[in-house]
């Protein structure tokens, strides 16, 4: 659209540009324009939107235009003729997402199109249709989470819900799908004579287990309110597969009508979620007050909600629990594993909750093993090991106090004292028996006295050990290691803390290589006698001449006419020198 006119209204349009161009192009200097409930899609990775200038993405376009707050940005996967394809998941991006418009009661093919909110929600675009496939999965941010984290679910540029994980159960990957323009299965009958909404958001676990702990926000739009009489009275409605619809009545859930968001603070099962009016469906819930995976011999308190029932009766694995019923028996302390449910009676009507699964497990073993004697000196490398078991956390303690950051399965000892380790699985914790580490004594060991042959430009090293200690060598060095460059007796004094002082010595004998300062000779006419000049540590020689001859005579005589090159190789038990 390019014009200077004001008061334009643009609703219920679908634009799908799969060629990488603009999804929507609006160049307008007018005012009071209303643009909303559309689906603008482009395959362009960036700069695919235009509102009085190119916009980087759908969010930037929305900000610049202050429009399309209820619109979507998702590939509708249209057919070549522009009609929706009910067999493509993308068709859900336009199904049941349009604004009701008076008089717009037929689609392009003459099919009926709803104009009243209580009758349903029309589709974006020219066609009315029903999808034959599941909706696309929402994008989850962040893609993985830990206890206490919040994950937000987005579809088509809009937040459709979020989950904040509690501390009492595992975190699992999720699959979230929003069904627009349709009521959840059986919800109209369950809520009658109250109304119900034309949407539901289904959340499924991709992990193991059935009982979880989370708070849930579900977003909705006005166009989905259906025959709800009072939006301000909305509460979270929930259906677990195989069970009836329940409503988190009273204070168990809330609605934020300006934000179009319904919130339930304590949910433990996944399934289908939407909104129903407070009190529309008498409901029953079991809400654990702690972890439902418990240690053998312990318990978890189960709370029945709501509290306005006339009578409560608790069940385990489908059988009534003896002594666990009455008008005020709204809690039960579970000590055995099993599926726990509660029946609540309201004016003669009995409602049974979806069960909560309690699991019992044994505590982990807490045992400490050391890699050496239970003595400590600076640098002696003493390490404590608690084993390595999957699903276990560790906390090391010194003298009864947790060591900050010491949460690995091993711990490198840094001082003497009494050590314990607390190991914990998903439900149970165990503490090891104390392991006492004493200070010292220290034993410095430089090794046995040694003798070896000299290697040119290579020097042996003496290591006093105990990194981080204080050192004083007979050479004056104060390092842990020194190089040995000549024969002699070497001593070291090591101070590695209280009761960790020791001395040691070693005698090193370095057998030298043979050496000579050069070659000399005595001339008598053409006869030359050759000598090694200043030989030291030489036990044998080899003379090599350029005429191809050689000899091992100490002082050979040669008759020379012309040039003769001479090479001398010296020998001893440690090697040669040339």
Q: What is the pLDDT of residues 446-489, one digit of tens each?
A: 999 999 998 888 899 999 999 999 999 999 999 999 999 999 99
Phi, psi for residue 415 in degrees, rounded to 5: -165, 165
Q: What is the pLDDT of residues 347-394, one digit of tens each?
A: 999 999 999 999 999 999 999 999 999 999 999 999 999 999 998 999
**1: pLDDT confidence band, cut at 50, 70 and 90?**
low
Angle formed at CA 565 by CA 560 and CA 566, multiple of 5 degrees: 100
Report how many helices (DSSP H) and strands (DSSP E) the chain contains, helices first: 2, 50
Cβ–Cβ under 8 Å, residues 440 and 499: yes
**3: pLDDT confidence band, cut at 50, 70 and 90?**
low
Tell me: cis bond preceding 193? Omega within 30 of 0 counts. yes
pTM of the full structure: 0.76
Angle formed at CA 40 by CA 36 and CA 43, multiple of 5 degrees: 165
Q: CA-to-CA distance for 244 and 238, rounded, in angstroms?
A: 9
Cβ–Cβ under 8 Å, residues 273 and 237: yes
- Mean pLDDT over 403-411 rounds to 98
Select from 262, 244, 252, 259 the least CA-distant residue to 186: 244
Select from 533, 535, 530, 534 the least CA-distant residue to 545: 530
**What average pLDDT does the structure give for the chain?**
95
17: which strand partners?
42
Cβ–Cβ under 8 Å, residues 336 and 357: no
3-state class of 94 per DSSP? coil
- Domains in the chain (CATH in brackets) are 2-119 (no CATH), 139-277 (2.60.220), 285-361 (2.60.40.10), 369-439 (2.60.40.10), 450-511 (2.60.40.10), 518-577 (2.60.40.10)
Tell me the pairing of strands 9-11 and 34-36.
parallel
What integer pLDDT is reported at residue 426 of this predicted model? 87
Tell me the pairing of strands 566-572 and 540-545.
antiparallel
Cβ neighbourhood burial of 232 (10 Å; 0-12, 13-18, 19+): exposed
**Residues 6+ positions from 520 with CB-CB distance below 8 Å:** 530, 531, 532, 533
Q: What is the pLDDT of residues 93-117, one digit of tens each?
A: 999 999 999 999 999 999 999 999 9
User: Torsion angle, CA of 268/274/278/281, rounded to 10 degrees?
Assistant: -80
Q: CA-to-CA distance for 11 and 126, rounded, in angstroms?
A: 12
- Of residues 32 and 503, more confidence is placed in 503
Q: What is the pLDDT of residues 281-327, one digit of tens each?
A: 999 999 999 999 999 999 999 999 999 999 999 999 999 999 999 99
User: Torsion angle, CA of 58/63/69/74, rounded to 10 degrees?
Assistant: 0
């Amino acid at each position: 659209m390019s014009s200077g006119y004001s008061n334009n209204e643009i609703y219920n349009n679908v634009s799908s540009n799969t060629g990488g161009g603009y999804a929507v192009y609006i160049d307008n200097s007018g005012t009071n324009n209303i643009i909303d409930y559309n689906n603008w899609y482009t395959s362009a990775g960036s700069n695919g939107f235009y509102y009085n200038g190119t916009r980087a993405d759908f969010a930037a376009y929305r900000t610049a235009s202050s429009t399309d707050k209820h619109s979507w940005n998702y590939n509708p996967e249209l057919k070549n003729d522009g009609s929706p394809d009910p067999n493509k998941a993308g068709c859900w991006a336009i199904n049941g997402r349009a604004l009701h418009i008076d008089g717009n009661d037929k689609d392009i093919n003459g099919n009926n199109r709803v104009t009243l909110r209580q009758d349903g929600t029309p589709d974006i675009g020219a066609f009315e249709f029903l999808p034959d496939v599941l909706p696309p999965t929402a994008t989850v941010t962040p893609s993985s989470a830990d206890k206490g984290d919040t994950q937000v679910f987005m579809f088509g540029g809009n937040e459709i819900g979020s989950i904040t994980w509690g501390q009492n159960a595992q975190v699992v990957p999720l699959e979230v799908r929003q069904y627009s323009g349709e009521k959840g299965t059986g919800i109209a009958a369950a809520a009658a004579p109250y109304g119900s909404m034309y949407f539901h958001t289904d959340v499924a676990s991709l992990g193991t287990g059935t009982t979880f702990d989370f708070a849930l926000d579900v977003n909705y739009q006005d166009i989905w309110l259906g025959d709800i009489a009072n939006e301000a009275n909305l509460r979270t409605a929930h259906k677990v597969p195989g069970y009836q619809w329940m409503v988190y009545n009273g204070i168990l859930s809330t609605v934020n009508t300006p934000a179009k968001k319904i919130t339930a603070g304590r949910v433990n099962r996944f399934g289908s979620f939407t909104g129903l009016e407070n009190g529309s469906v008498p409901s029953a819930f079991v809400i654990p007050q702690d972890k439902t995976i418990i240690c053998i011999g312990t318990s978890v308190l189960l709370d029945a909600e709501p509290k306005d029932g006339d009578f409560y009766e608790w069940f385990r694995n489908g059988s009534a629990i003896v002594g666990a019923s009455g008008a005020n028996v709204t809690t039960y302390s579970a000590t055995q594993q099993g599926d726990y449910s509660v029946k609540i009676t309201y004016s003669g009507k009995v409602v049974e909750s979806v069960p909560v699964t309690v699991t019992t497990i044994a505590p982990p073993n807490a045992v400490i093993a050391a890699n050496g004697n239970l003595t400590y000196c600076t640098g002696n490398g003493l390490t404590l090991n608690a084993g390595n078991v999957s699903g276990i956390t560790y906390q090391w303690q010194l003298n009864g106090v947790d060591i900050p950051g010491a949460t690995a399965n091993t711990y490198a000892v840094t001082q003497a004292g009494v050590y314990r380790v607390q190991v914990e699985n998903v439900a149970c914790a165990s503490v090891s028996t104390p392991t006492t580490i004493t200070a010292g004594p220290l034993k410095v060991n430089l090794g046995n006295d040694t003798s070896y042959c000299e290697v040119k430009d290579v020097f042996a090293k003496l290591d006093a050990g105990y990194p981080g200690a204080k050192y004083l060598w007979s050479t004056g060095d104060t390092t842990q290691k020194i190089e040995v460059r000549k024969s002699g007796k070497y001593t070291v004094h090591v101070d590695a803390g209280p009761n960790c002082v020791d001395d040691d010595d070693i005698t090193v004998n370095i057998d030298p290589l043979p050496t000579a300062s050069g070659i000399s000779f005595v001339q008598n006419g053409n006869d030359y006698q050759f000598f090694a000049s200043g030989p030291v540590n030489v036990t044998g020689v080899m003379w090599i001449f350029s005429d191809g001859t050689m000899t091992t005579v100490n002082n050979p005589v040669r008759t020379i006419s012309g040039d003769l090159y001479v090479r001398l190789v010296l020998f001893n038990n440690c090697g040669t020198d040339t």
